[in-house]
């Protein structure tokens, strides 16, 4: 054996450093998940009904803050709430179903679509204060009730198409009643009476 056998060996070489492309499968999965979340957030943010609801809730919060800060007269707060609810309902529901409502019919509409207490004393006091009938005598609890019920209505109100879908789903869950016996039709009744007559 030669004493300089190490000189006969090939020069040392390390493998190349791994490149950044293509990434590992985990990075692909992470990129797809992030993209899906961004697309979902964009679709949710662009939804006109949700955007309408967010704006209405922001306006209600502003009305509440101005009523508390300025100690506004109950009439001003009631008018602002009444106008907000009317505009929201006109934008969300069919115009023909909302535009002609007033008084008890309007309160019934609000109660049926999420603002349950508007069908009672809270709704009556809101209308009375909004239209100048005894608004100065109302307590702070009555005003708090207006804001609470208005927020409930703004959060729970469901547009007509979604309401129909919800009713259909609820109808599928309940068994259908058996059909009522119907009276025989006119031609069937005549043929039965001819057979009976000699």
DSSP symbol at 91? H
Q: What is the rounded CA–CA span in Å between residue 39 and residue 121?
A: 45
Largest CA distance in the chain: 138
User: Would you list the domain boundaries of the chain?
Assistant: 46-158
Task: Summarize pLDDT for 112-171 with one digit per residue, the tens.
Answer: 888 888 888 888 888 888 887 665 566 778 888 899 999 998 988 877 666 566 666 666
Closest C-alpha among 91, 90, 78, 83 to residue 51: 91
Residue 122's pLDDT is: 86
Task: Summarize pLDDT for 58-88 with one digit per residue, the tens.
Answer: 999 999 998 888 766 778 888 999 999 999 9
Residue 85's pLDDT is: 92
How many C-beta atoms surround the C-beta of residue 42 within 10 A? 9
Tokens of 4: 């300089």
């Amino acid at each position: 054996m030669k004493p300089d056998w190490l000189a006969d060996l090939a020069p040392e070489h390390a493998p190349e450093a791994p490149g950044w492309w293509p990434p590992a499968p985990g990075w692909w999965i992470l990129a797809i998940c992030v993209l899906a979340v961004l697309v979902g957030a964009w679709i949710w943010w662009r939804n006109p009904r949700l955007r309408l609801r967010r704006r209405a809730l922001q306006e209600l919060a502003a009305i509440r803050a101005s009523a508390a800060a300025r100690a506004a007269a109950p009439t001003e707060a009631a008018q602002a709430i009444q106008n907000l609810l009317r505009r929201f309902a006109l934008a969300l529901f069919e115009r023909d179903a909302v535009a002609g409502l007033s008084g008890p019919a309007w309160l019934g509409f609000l109660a049926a679509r999420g603002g349950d207490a508007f069908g009672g004393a809270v709704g009556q006091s809101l209308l009375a204060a909004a239209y100048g009938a005894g608004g100065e005598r109302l307590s702070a609890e009555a005003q708090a009730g207006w804001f609470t019920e208005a927020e409930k209505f703004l959060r729970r109100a469901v547009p007509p198409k979604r309401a129909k879908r919800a009713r259909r789903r609820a109808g599928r869950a309940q068994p259908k009643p058996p059909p009522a016996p119907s009276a025989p039709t006119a031609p069937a009744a005549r043929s039965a009476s001819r057979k009976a007559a000699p």
